[in-house]
With several copies, the nearest count.
Chain A
Amino acid sequence: MPLSIQEQTMLADSVGAWVARESPVTAFRRVRDAADPLGFDPAAWRSIAAMGWAGIAISEDQGGAGLGLAAAGLIVAGLGRALVASPLAATIAASAAILHGGDEAQRRLWLPSIAEGTAIASIACDEGGHHDPARLRTKAERVASGWRLSGVKPFVAEGSAATLFVVAADTGLFLVPADTQGLAREPRSMMDSRGHASVSLDVTLPADARLSDADLDTVLDGVRALAAAEMLGLADAVFAMTLDYLRVRVQFGRTIGSFQALQHRAATLFTRIELVRSCVAAALAALDARADDSRSLVSLAKAQAGDMLNLVTREAVQMHGGIGMTDEHDVGLYLKRAKMLEGAGGTSAFHRDRYARLNGY
């Protein structure tokens, strides 16, 4: 049941209103300056959950809204516009993984508590510095009581806050509660000041911990498409901020937005953003519809979003000039989060390569 354009607009508007009221960029600055390893404000997260957004993609029978990833993308983009620090994107992607690959018991065990915001979940996949799901070294072996998992995931998003990890190992995906004995985590301070952690695993899990029907690539495509949605939100905000500056900053006796070279570059940024808007919507809709071309479309969205946001944030800093290089100005905060998202779930180069392979060349 895709949302109609009117419904999409209504949802986006309600997200915008919430952000303006509850969590503008100043809120992110407070979280950052507090330097709590959690990486977000628990009160904001409770408010997000109360809006029903944690369960947006969870089926109605498990306490969710059943609106799928397309609706989730609108929310994640809307929060991205103001750099809202929250574990929402990670949790939604994990919920989609359980919905997609879990059995009835697993769904019942986790999805209702995710939907009400009491469980925070995150997918732990990458191991080295690069996204390379085809070569995971985390081992999962059958043992008498179930499974034995060992490995290290050095940069897990929301790793400090998560109560549940969906762990990608060499032989499949596993549900690992954060309080499992043998799971250790240590916060990692990263450029975007969000709640990353290194998670090491040397754990024994029950036999039913495995997401038996999960396909790793499909699970990761949720992460990727939501990252692209957040990137779109960042781009919208940075571009609006830059246009505002172009309209008011005066040099040589005129607004700098009256210089044609900057006008044409602004037109290019607008073009790139509008193309990504279509790609993100198509990718999320394809995932919801389990369409044949969903992989191609997700790689399209992530690659285009990466190139676009790299350009938009760099041009934003350049057009702001020196002021854009200061910590006091918001544009640098977007630049940092953008770089983090550029690599999340694979860089643009990774996804161009994947797109070409999917299309046979």
Chain B
Amino acid sequence: MASGSEGFRRASRDWLGTHFPRALAGLGPRYMSSETPPEPTPAFLAWKRAIAEKGWGVPTWPCQYGGAGLSEEEAAILAEEMAAAGAWTPIGGMGVMMFGPTLLEYGTEQQKLRHLPGIADGSIRWCQGYSEPGAGSDLASLQCRAEDKGDHFLVNGQKVWTSGAQWSDWCFALVRTDPSDKRGGISFLMIDMRSPGVTVKPIRMISGSSPFCETFFDNVEVPKDNLLGATGQGWTIGKRLLQHERGGISQMSSDVPPLHALALTHLAISDDGRLADGELRVRIARCEMEALALALTVARIQSESEEGGPPQATSILKNVGAWLAQERAELMLEILGTRGLGWEGAGFAAPELEACRQWLFSKAVSIYGGTTEIQNDIVAKRMLGLKDA
């Protein structure tokens, strides 16, 4: 490790020591991936402001777009130091994980300057307008129309599974600009959710919350400036964005406490120190080992792509990540037993209620971002060269 990076490590540690509120240590999952997040406290808001000013919510983005311009190595050091301090970034969501990287790749300078800083400081929320009632796995058959009206597109149609649409400022959407060309007729628009003609209807999920909506576009005018890439390039850009989503899912479960720790506090232990339930013990080991194998694979594939190796393995990582998220949620309920089946009200601790909701929500992980079946099709056809009849 070069001495420069040691310097960066020390500086990061110092800065975190000064700015990260101890009271938030380890609460990242509760705030950022919970079905029922707490209300933001003053400490949370102060921490969000501080990290946004530093650009460390999106540390590798260039400074002019609100990032910190860190190298991958520095970002890795920062992540280590944050983990060591129990710190976590309050700046997340689809803007950071999916849309920002895509905009960095395909946007004009003007588009980047306009949209990235609001993502970087967590002030502007984005939602995804991809799926439609008749276009789920078969995304390319989407029907939401965008007619070219000279200086703007006129958008009419319906999207579904627009996550967080009810709280979002903007929507990145795939729309049909040419009905005669299935994939080549799709374009990628950025739509201001406050535009006249946008209606949002939250969908109640089995977990009781409504993180997704139906979104209706009724003669919505979208300025031409808000087209990302060229007309008809939407399918290419949209798929690229999904790779970022899948990459995110494969890394999702890395910052959660290990299952076995929970098991040791809740379950019977044998005289030799092992979990007494031999079957559950094996399942926990399998799950934790699979998580480590996935983390090692994410790291290997990243380092290989940096050195010019094969880059397109997100589909297999997404499927493993989905399996892990679901198996982990199943095991949480196995460990908690009936205590993990509470819905609300008296008699249950907050983490117990949270485990139940998470278990329900986890069933979506193998559906959104392209189902497990779609990923397997992609692997079989594109990576393994197996053709359809």
State if A and B touch, Cβ cutoff 8 Å. Answer: yes
- Indicate whether B311 reaches chain A with its CB closer than 8 angstroms: no
A296 closest partner in B (C-beta):
B292
Give the CA-CA distance A281 to B379 in the complex, in Å: 23
CB-defined interface of B73-117 with A at 8 Å, one 1/0 digit per residue?
000000000000000000000000000000000000000000000
A261 CA / B389 CA spacing, docked (Å):
13
B208 touches A327 (CB 8 A): yes
Say yes or no: A356 contacts B307, CB within 8 Å. no
The verdict on A251 contacting B137 (CB below 8 Å), with A270-B316, A278-B299, A326-B203 known, is yes
- Name the A residues within 8 Å of B205 (CB-CB): 325-327
Contact of B152 with A by CB under 8 A = no
Nearest chain A CB to B245 CB, angstrom units: 15
B340 touching A129, Cβ below 8 Å: yes
**Contact mask for chain B residues 305-344; partner A; CB cutoff 8 A; 1 contact, 0 none:** 0010100010010011000001000100110111111111
Please give me the residue from chain B that is nearest to A349 by CB atom: B279
A6 and chain B: residue at smallest CB distance? B307
A230-267 residues at the B interface, CB under 8 angstroms:
243, 246-247, 250-255, 257-264, 266-267
A186 to B346, CA, bound (A): 9
Within 8 A of A (CB), among B330-389: 330, 333-334, 336-348, 356, 359-360, 363-364, 366-368, 371-373, 375-377, 379-381, 383-389
The answer to whether A352 and B285 have CB atoms under 8 Å apart is yes
| Separation of A126 and B388 alpha carbons in the complex (Å) | 49
Q: What chain A residues lie within 8 Å of B137 (beta carbons)? A: 251-252, 321
Q: Which residue of B lies closest to A239 (CB)?
A: B384
With A5-B307, A361-B281 known to touch, is A314 a contact of B363 (CB < 8 Å)?
yes
Q: What separation, in Å, do the CA atoms of A186 and B316 have in the docked complex?
A: 47
Q: A332 with B360: in contact, given A251-B136, A270-B383 (CB under 8 Å)?
A: yes
**What is the total number of residues of chain A having a CB less than 8 Å from a CB of chain B?**
80
Task: Kindly count the residue-residue contacts between A and B in the assembled complex, taking CB atoms under 8 Å apart.
Answer: 236
In the complex, chain B residues whose CB is within 8 Å of the CB of A250: 134
Q: Is the CB of A193 within 8 A of B343?
A: yes
A contact residues around B346 at 8 Å (CB): 186, 188
Within 8 A of B (CB), among A333-352: 335-336, 339-340, 343, 347, 349, 352
Q: Is the CB of B343 within 8 A of A191?
A: yes
List of B residues within 8 angstroms of A259 by Cβ? 373, 389
A210: Cβ under 8 A from any B Cβ: no
The residue in chain B whose Cβ has the minimal distance to the Cβ of A359 is: B260
Assembled-state Cα–Cα distance A326/B348 (Å): 25
Of B17-25, B165-173, B270-278, the one contacting chain A is: B270-278
Q: How far is the CA of A310 from the CA of B294 in the complex (A)?
A: 20
CB < 8 Å neighbour of B292 from A131, A186, A300, A318:
A300
Q: Is A171 an interface residue (CB 8 A)?
A: no
Q: Which of B347, B356, B389 contacts A191 (CB 8 A)?
A: B356
Chain B residues with a Cβ closer than 8 Å to the other chain, count = 91
Complex CA distance for A247 and B263, rounded to whole angstroms: 42
- A215 interface residue per 8 A CB criterion: no
A335–B356 Cα gap in the complex (Å)?
12
For the complex, is B284 an interface residue (Cβ under 8 Å from A)? yes
Asked whether A282 is an interface residue with its Cβ less than 8 Å from the other chain, the reply is: yes
- Residues in A whose Cβ lies below 8 Å from that of B368: 322
Q: Does A268 contact B (CB under 8 A)?
A: yes
Q: Is A267 in contact with B379, judged by CB distance below 8 angstroms? A: yes
Complex Cα gap A300–B377 (Å): 28
Question: A352, B286: Cβ atoms under 8 Å?
Answer: yes
Q: Mask for A73-93, Cβ within 8 A of B = 1, else 0?
A: 000000000000000000000
Which chain B residues border A335 with CB–CB below 8 Å?
Answer: 206, 360, 363
Other-chain contact of B342, A190, A260, A267, A310 (Cβ < 8 Å) = A190
Residue in contact with B206 in the complex, picked from A271, A326, A352, A353, CB distance below 8 Å:
A326
Q: What residue in chain A is nearest B306 (Cβ atoms)?
A: A5
- The answer to whether A321 touches B138 (Cβ under 8 A) is no
Contacts of B293 in A (CB 8 A): 275-276, 278-279, 300, 304
State in angstroms the CA–CA spacing of A303 and B290 once bound together: 10
Instruction: With both chains docked as a complex, state the minimum distance between the C-beta of B344 and any C-beta of chain A, in angstroms.
Output: 5
- Provide the residues of chain B in CB contact with A189, threshold 8 Å: 342-345
Given A193-B343, A258-B387, A361-B260: A352 and B282 interface contact (C-beta under 8 Å): yes
Distance in angstroms from B383 CB to nearest chain A CB is 7
Q: Is B50 an interface residue (CB 8 A)?
A: no
Whether A360 lies near B264 (C-beta < 8 A) is: yes
Task: Answer whether residue A224 sits at the interface, using C-beta atoms and an 8 A cutoff.
Answer: no
A357 at the interface (CB under 8 A from B): yes
Q: Is A55 an interface residue (CB 8 A)?
A: no
Q: Is B303 an interface residue (CB 8 A)?
A: yes
* Contact between B376 and A268, CB atoms less than 8 A apart: yes
Contact B297 A246 (CB under 8 A): no
- Does B27 make an interface contact (CB < 8 A)? no
Given the known interface contacts A191-B342, A359-B288, the answer about A353 and B279 at a Cβ–Cβ threshold of 8 Å is: yes
Contact with B along A162-202 (1 / 0, CB 8 A): 00000000000000000000000011111111000010000
**Which A33-72 residues have C-beta < 8 A from chain B?**
none
A316 to chain B, nearest CB (A): 10
| Given A5-B309, A304-B289: A264 and B376 interface contact (C-beta under 8 Å) | yes
Alpha-carbon separation in the docked complex, A355 to B303 (Å): 26
Cα distance A6–B306 when bound, in Å?
A: 12
* B384 engages A270 (CB within 8 Å): yes
- The 8 residue pairs across chains A and B that have the minimum distance between CB atoms: A129-B337, A332-B206, A263-B380, A129-B339, A267-B379, A251-B138, A254-B389, A278-B296
Other 19 A-B pairs with CB < 8 A, given A187-B345, A253-B141, A327-B204: A5-B303, A188-B348, A192-B341, A251-B138, A258-B389, A261-B373, A264-B380, A267-B376, A275-B290, A279-B292, A282-B296, A310-B330, A321-B137, A321-B367, A322-B161, A324-B363, A332-B360, A343-B337, A359-B288
Q: Could you jot down 7 A-B contacts, CB within 8 Å?
A: A189-B342, A271-B319, A278-B300, A300-B289, A314-B363, A321-B371, A322-B368
Binding site for B on A (CB under 8 A): 4-6, 126, 128-131, 154-155, 186-193, 198, 243, 246-247, 250-255, 257-264, 266-268, 270-271, 274-279, 281-282, 296, 300, 303-304, 310, 314, 317-318, 321-322, 324-328, 332, 335-336, 339-340, 343, 347, 349, 352-353, 355-357, 359-361
